[in-house]
Amino acid sequence: MSARIVCFGEVLVRLSAPDNEVLLQSARLNTCFGGAEANVAVSLARFGHASAVAAVLPDNAIGRAARDELRRHGVDVSRLAFAAGRMGLYFLTPGAGQRPSQVLYDRADSAFARAAGEVDWDRALAGAEWLHVSGVTPAIGPATAEAALKAVRAATRLGVKVSMDGNYRASLWAAWDGNAPAILSEMLSHAALLFGDHRDIGLILGQAFEAGDAEHLRRQAADVAFAAFPRLQRLACTDRVQHNVNHHDLTGFMLDRGQTWRSAPRSLNPIVDRIGGGDAFAAGVLHGLLSGLDEDITLDFAVAAAALKHAIPGDFNLATLAEVEDLRTAESLDVRR
């Protein structure tokens, strides 16, 4: 099947402590499926775009349930493969008040980690306009790092634009002593769109930016990235003012080679579930680009999508296009009847 955007990355099972408890405070865990790239694919499908996930799942009941959950939300699952191995997991201790959330990964030797490099990219990207990847995939281990590089190289060869979310995961890189700057730099050399800020660019290029306010640092880093990576056309990121774990103000930014756009800030209070908020923002930006929206509307839409995700439990943003547009343009949060 043809998809306008193909998202490549591991689909995970999330196990989280209930009711703001710390992990295993009681003998219960809530479960759902997630993963950075799958989150983007689900959002885009719910916005009406033809999105697909390319991944490897374990050949067992859990892998098939993950496939079925993606399909239930309208994602094209024809690029999913099944292989020996286990399902990647992550454990979440939700934050509350002054206690931040904590994530514990358990992904070693998963089916994806074993076989991600076997994706047939000529088939997977046939008819696609975009490939969306993130820095999580190469962080898992040397085999997935090579698989991520293979994916972006194939996209460039086939004329498919690459969208990359920096998504730096220090604990995953440290587990195998991976060379994050070198690998992420090669991935970014293929990207037309980067979701990241001055910290991501500083890490990738090994460059410290001059002290200054956040807006100055953002523009300075963007100019350096545009000079270093000729294919790169846009950067997008968010800025959070964190009053406490349950109350943030979120502002979106987009930069090209000459201009910076900034959204109005949105107050997120109270936050139900922050996980997946960045992926909801990324999907909102990609929706704007796929739909030919101007930059101001694209940013407003992306921040509204992220705001709605913060009010939805689980990894996936289940908001529809109409619901995001309603929030973007609404003057009231009264009950809709």
**For residue 58, cis peptide bond before it (omega within 30 degrees of 0):** no
- Check residue 210 and give its pLDDT: 73
Output the CA–CA distances (angstroms, integers) from residue 237 to 123, 179, 196, 279, 304, in the order listed: 31, 24, 5, 11, 14
Let me know if 131 is exposed, middle or buried by CB neighbors in 10 A (0-12, 13-18, 19+).
Answer: buried
At 258, list the tokens: 């000459």
Mean pLDDT computed over 8-34: 96
pTM here is: 0.97
**Count of other CB atoms within 10 angstroms of residue 323:** 16
Q: What is the pLDDT of residues 96-110, one digit of tens each?
A: 999 999 999 999 999
Q: Hey, what domains does the chain have and what are their CATH numbers?
A: 1-128 (3.40.1190.20)
- Check residue 156 and give its pLDDT: 98
Q: What percentage of the chain carries pLDDT values higher than 90? A: 93
CA 9 to CA 77: how far, in whole Å? 13
Output the CA–CA distances (angstroms, integers) from residue 26 to 13, 16, 75, 238, 299, in the order listed: 19, 11, 35, 35, 41
- Check residue 26 and give its pLDDT: 95
Place 1 in a pLDDT band, splitting at 50, 70 and 90: low
Q: Taking a C-beta distance cutoff of 8 angstroms, is the pair 239, 253 a contact?
A: yes
- Check residue 337 and give its pLDDT: 75
Place 263 in a pLDDT band, splitting at 50, 70 and 90: very high
User: pLDDT at residue 117 above 70?
Assistant: yes
